[in-house]
Amino acid sequence: MCGIVGRVNKVRPVDEKLLLEMRDTLTHRGPDGKGIYISHDKLVGLGHRRLSLMDLSDKGAQPMTNENKTIWATVNGEIYNYPELKKELQAKGHHFASKSDSEVVVHAYEEWGEDLASHLNGMFAFGIWDDNKKMLMLVRDRFGIKPLYYFQDSSTFIFASEIKAIIEDPQVPRNLDHKSICDYLTYRYIPCPGTIWKDVKKVQPGHYLLIDEQGNIQIKKYWSLEYGDNDGDPNELISDIDELLLASVSSHTMSDVSIGSFLSGGYDSSALVSYLNKINHPIQSFSIGFENWSNSEHKFAEIVANKFEAEHESIILNRSGLDLVEKLAFYYDEPIADISIVPTYEVSCLASKSVKAVLSGEGADEIFGGYTWYKSMAETSSDAGFFSKLSRILPGANKAFTLEHYASAMEMGGYDRRELTDILNGDLHSFIPEDPQWFYNSQFSGGLSPVKSLQALDIKCFMSELVLTKIDRASMANSLEVRVPFLDHRLVQYMFNLKESAYYKPNVKKYLLYENIKNDLPDSILSREKQGFVGPDHYYQDYNWYKEVLLDGKLIADRIIRRETTEKWLEQKDHWRLWKLAILEFWYTRWN
């Protein structure tokens, strides 16, 4: 895992000192090495910070190039099918200088050009400079596991793994996007392609950008999830999932360093540990708990760790963990109000003391149907003709019903137009969207069955925008790579090709996963109620802390939010909305 940065200037030569400073804002993403490339005409520069996992020698250093030094790449991520691709490319006459999976990107571009991403199985964000065509190509993986940002003005184009590298350039304006503040308060994150800054954008998952020497940008989609309605023999489906998971976990453990695993004692992380055991991979696991909490996950994690004789470590958090929120504002670059940002950072810190990479269970709920809002949707629409009846009453009513259900599930202190008007100062009211749920509307896929429609929304919204951003920033802040085997795109596509009834059973949690782990895990784990990676409620209900953070804060002083509304929510003990404001306050104080 690494940090990448680059720029293409129109006229002025690249300032090498500045490029190095931009690159080194990402040292936490790659403390093991650093590299730079400046083109012959001095108009193009690429930078790289390296976290060494494959080919630990200097041959694995980046930016990487081909034999005649016409193609240069700076790569963040892992290409899990690189052994197969390397053999295929070698058979076509390509010569490799290293054993690094990242070098596959260079030769895949030489061979397949713009189509290279469709050949890659992995998590990645990379930039490729083609010196012959005088063209830059940026690519982001299918689900947005790895981040990629960019900025353009009349004289330059800049890209990087994190926004902080881009705004290190003093010529990049820090113009706050007030519409993005509204989106943040609504969603807990800022949806693609926007960011908190007007002039900085995200590359969307499953997309690539082409930038020519005149600065013309083309944005193209190379992958999208397809939806099927296939049925099948249950035993065959169970067997297929087993094979796909075995293959994914095996490929995700390829490394020249030790690979550990997060372990919460829930379905997903416990399943990964079970599959690590199946492939005879040494198990190092890491968990987190909270003081004086009966549901603390570390106790369940220890049950699984003991079952598989794992080398296991836990850390127990107390109230002082909230002190980290201010520190995290640096690493997150944008406000993100998931309540698990602190425990995710802490367990990453713990793991990073023993390993450089871990497996984690992100994506399992989305593809196997594990979230509680799926069950409530299934129960509401249990009448087989529910959606069709709704559509006959009012065209589009099924969409409206689904989005209302989804928005309610995602709310966690949601803000509608009334609440946004309440909290934001009058000068900002013009930035409030007519439809605060516009992003959910834009990502809705019509024609799907009830539960699958929510899964599709989660893949594109909750997972890609919030969950994966959280895990990337928290782990890379600790120079730790997190690999997510459930998001092998072949496994995800297999699941979404199935009829909902083939994989979703209301009375069996994550049916196709359960059938593959039911004989390997203790009943105390299999029968656990669904629990997010959070802490006890009182952890987030310290109203004296909210009062200290907000009432004398910059958001009120700079007339972004209204003091009287903040005081009202303090009086009402509305901790969900206060949490969003506190996260925004720390971000705003750090970056403005």
Confidence label for 299 from pLDDT (cuts 50, 70 and 90): confident
Global pTM value: 0.95
pLDDT band at 320 (very low <50, low <70, confident <90, very high): low
Question: Which pLDDT belongs to residue 156?
Answer: 97
Q: How many CB atoms lie within 10 A of CB 231?
A: 11
Known active-site residue 192:
no
The total of other beta-carbon atoms located within 10 Å of residue 443's CB is 19
Mean pLDDT of the chain: 93
Domain boundaries, the chain: 2-174+192-221, 234-369+449-526, 395-447+540-591
8 Å CB contact between 585 and 546: no
pLDDT at residue 291, as a whole number? 78
Task: State the pLDDT at residue 447.
Answer: 86
Tokens of 559: 């007339």
| Average pLDDT estimate for 29-37 | 96
Q: Residue 383: is its pLDDT beyond 70?
A: no
Can you tell me the distance from the alpha carbon of 138 to that of 128, in angstroms, rounded to the nearest whole number? 7
Q: Are 253 and 238 in contact (CB under 8 A)?
A: no
CA distance 45 to 348: 32
2-174+192-221 and 234-369+449-526 agree in CATH topology: no
- Where is average pLDDT lowest: 215-224, 284-293, 387-396? 387-396
**Could you give the count of Cα atoms lying within 13 Å of 161 in the half-sphere of its Cβ?**
32
Confidence of residue 401 (pLDDT cuts 50, 70, 90): confident
User: Confidence class of residue 189 from pLDDT cuts 50, 70 and 90?
Assistant: very high
- Span between the terminal Cα atoms of the chain, in Å: 29
Which tokens hold the place of 233?
């023999």
Model confidence over 114-167: pLDDT tens digits? 999 999 999 999 999 999 999 999 999 999 999 999 999 999 999 999 999 999
CATH topology of domain 234-369+449-526: Rossmann fold (3.40.50)
- Residue 57 predicted with pLDDT over 90: no
Answer whether residue 394 shows pLDDT above 60: no
What is the full DSSP assignment across 115-132?
GGGGG--EEEEEEEEETT
Residue 299's nearest CA partner among 309, 311, 287, 284 is 287
Q: Which residue has the higher pLDDT, 395 or 445?
A: 445
Q: CA-CA distance, 89 to 94, in Å (whole number)?
A: 6
Q: Which CATH architecture has domain 2-174+192-221?
A: 4-Layer Sandwich (3.60)
Helix ranges restricted to H, 336-434: 341-352, 364-368, 372-380, 386-393, 397-410, 417-423
Q: Which residue has tokens 């919460």?
A: 264
Query: What percentage of the chain carries pLDDT values higher than 90?
Result: 80
Contact in structure between 546 and 578 (CB atoms under 8 Å): yes
Catalytic option among 2, 182, 192, 349: 2
Cα-based distances in Å from 472 to 148, 181, 318, 482, 484: 12, 22, 24, 7, 11
* Strands 207-212 and 2-9, sheet pairing: unpaired
